[in-house]
Amino acid sequence: MNILILGGGGREHALAWAIKQNPKCDRLIVAPGNAGIADVAECADLDIMDAVAVVEFATENAINFIIIGPEAPLTVGVSDALRAAGILCFGPSQAAAQLEGSKSFTKEICAACNAPTAAYGHFTDAAAAKEYIRKQGVPIVVKADGLAAGKGVIVAMDLDTALVAVDNMFSGEFGTAGAEVVIEEFLDGEEASFFVLVDGETVLPMGTAQDHKRAYDGDKGPNTGGMGAYSPAPVMTDAVIDKTLNQIVRPTMAEMNARGMPFQGILFVGLMIKNGQPHLIEYNVRFGDPECQVLMMRLGAQAFDAIHAAAEGRLKDARINWADDHALTIVMAANGYPGVYEKGSVIKAVETIPETSSTMVFHAGTARRDGALIATGGRVLAVTARGETLEQAKDNAYKMVDEINWPDGFYRRDIGWRAL
């Protein structure tokens, strides 16, 4: 099979790495890819937001199956264009991608199907939003309705912060994403992520993970896309998983079906769990990054069979074989991230680290310049290891990090602390 993956981050490197190991994969192309992906696949220069260009590229290259990594192409309907052209594709339609693209849409769906989530108000003007905040009191959470690259959420512990956040959003801090604002009840508890494959009918759990969103040790500093993750998440016990499936995931999928927008792809369920009861924080319609790295490290080649079954509507007969193992990933980021950072610094010694079925350095923002590996993004590497215990996975991953020579980068020393 000729397979095309859209994207060029650590998530797509992990997907490419797992898929390449599957004997069903003949040719693997990733667009745009990165320096690490170039070791396992062909990289192609392609504008993945341009549906016409993607269809054309797939046709020219006799692609049999396309996997869409990031949310952006999904929310502009690239999957719809591919399906219209008769090309098999993994990823939800533009309509179903609203589960990530619009927070008020998701809230409305949850209300319609009684899925436990934070109480909320939806506002299109600042005065009404502020009045609601004053009435509800703090702590409270202010969210830009649209996609804001993970930055459109302000958890306000005091009234001033909440009111300023409303003003900033309506005055365009997050562009059109903030033209509408959702204000939510603050949920207390422990956060975890749950991943389920869906083919429109059947739901197949694909694993649990926890990530570390803050930049610095002790969960301090600014919010990032994720500085590390581990799988499984101990808080996601079988009982919590059952509740999540029965109270949140299945009712949501049924509601989507009832509205004529069935979901197909991977649903990333962001949860807050307190006293064994899950509440939905958010949905994403793609794998998490860096959560995907730990999921792929644990699943290996079989991940492809499950993804392929979801795209073909065969999940009813699909199985995932779980080992009793753990994986952990440490993100190395450019100094200054998530704020201003330099691009182009040289990273040394990554090549000396053995790539095995239980140790991989996944690349996020890298390129080659005159043979040298250079950093081209904020999050640059996801150093990932598997172990029989979380402790072992962590030790293995930190041993790898310690070998990498990159003075212009930083990472957290405490990934996994909550579970250890």
User: Is residue 211 near ligand GLY by the rule CB under 6 A?
Assistant: yes
User: Is residue 141 near ligand AMP by the rule CB under 6 A?
Assistant: yes
Phi, psi of 332 (to 5 degrees): -100, 125
Nearest distance in Å: CB 246, ligand AMP = 21
Nearest distance in Å: CB 385, ligand GLY = 18
Which range binds ligand GLY by CB under 6 A, 117-125, 159-167, 196-204, 286-294? Answer: 286-294
**Residues 349 and 403 sit within 8 Å (Cβ to Cβ):** yes
289 binds, among ligand GLY, ligand AMP, none (CB under 5 to 8 A by kind): ligand GLY
- 395: tokens are 């030790």
Length reported for the chain: 420
155 binds, among ligand AMP, ligand GLY, none (CB under 5 to 8 A by kind): ligand AMP
Residue selected from 225, 228, 262, 338 as contacting ligand GLY according to rule CB under 6 A: 225
User: Is residue 270 near ligand AMP by the rule CB under 6 A?
Assistant: yes
CA–CA dist 80, 49 (Å, integer): 12
User: Is residue 71 near ligand GLY by the rule CB under 6 A?
Assistant: no
191 binds, among ligand GLY, ligand AMP, none (CB under 5 to 8 A by kind): ligand AMP
- State which residue, 82 or 118, has the beta carbon closest to ligand AMP: 118
**Residues 55 and 83 sit within 8 Å (Cβ to Cβ):** no
Tell me the three state secondary structure of residue 179.
coil
CA–CA dist 214, 117 (Å, integer): 23
Which ranges of 269-367 does DSSP label H, i.e. alpha helix?
291-299, 302-312
**Residues 295 and 211 sit within 8 Å (Cβ to Cβ):** no
Place of tokens 């590497």: 381
- 311: tokens are 């795209």
User: Is residue 205 near ligand AMP by the rule CB under 6 A?
Assistant: no
Phi, psi of 280 (to 5 degrees): -75, 130
User: Is residue 9 near ligand GLY by the rule CB under 6 A?
Assistant: no
User: Is residue 222 near ligand AMP by the rule CB under 6 A?
Assistant: no
**Segment holding 134, helix H or strand E:** helix 126-136
**Residues 403 and 411 sit within 8 Å (Cβ to Cβ):** no
Kindly write out the interface string for residues 290-309 of this chain, putting x where it contacts ligand GLY by CB under 6 A and - elsewhere: -x------------------
Residue selected from 36, 226, 278, 338 as contacting ligand GLY according to rule CB under 6 A: 226
Binding site for ligand GLY (CB under 6 A): 150, 211, 225-226, 284, 288-289, 291
Binding site for ligand AMP (CB under 6 A): 118, 141, 150, 153, 155, 184, 186-187, 191, 213, 270, 281-282
